[in-house]
Amino acid sequence: MRPEILADLLAHPDFPEGACWQRRGFAANEAIVREGQFDQTLYVIEQGTAQVYCEVTLDEERHVRPGIWELKPGDLVGELSLFDDRPRAASVFATSEGRLLAIDGQRLRQFLDSHPDIGYPFLKELFLLLVDRLRKANHRLESVFAWGLRAHGIDRHL
């Protein structure tokens, strides 16, 4: 997200710190978000780094937790939960000490609805972020699919 769009939101008198958002520190290895959790908080990494993980079940007894995305300052976490009531799709753990902004999702949606001059650029930027993540996810899925075909010798029959 472009810093000026976030700065406009956080500086607005109708979106006060403490009521609508807050800064929070985190330690290395601390869970920021847990897969399956229900909440609608949007996080913005201000300092430090984090990693997005998902739970993958190999069979009844084996589960792995691969890292699927690295987060750095300026990156958003939890944007999907802003618009649906489903549980978190992944976990996020800090990989270093840092600080983040925790933005109340319900208050954010209300603010964006009542302030379209800030809401439209914010949502447009969020949409572009989601498009970029979807393209990267599609590329990764294609790579995994190709690897699976090669690993099982199926690519020889195509």
125-157 confidence digits (pLDDT tens): 999 999 998 898 888 888 888 888 888 888 776
Query: What pLDDT is attached to residue 58?
Result: 80
| Domain 3-152 annotated CATH 2.60.120.10 | yes
The CA R_g of the chain, rounded to the nearest whole Å, is 18
68-123 confidence digits (pLDDT tens): 889 999 999 999 888 888 999 899 999 999 999 999 999 999 999 999 999 999 99
C-alpha distances in Å from residue 91, one per residue of 6, 50, 68, 156? 24, 10, 10, 37
Query: What pLDDT is attached to residue 61?
Result: 83
**Integer Cα distance of 49 and 32 in angstroms:** 11
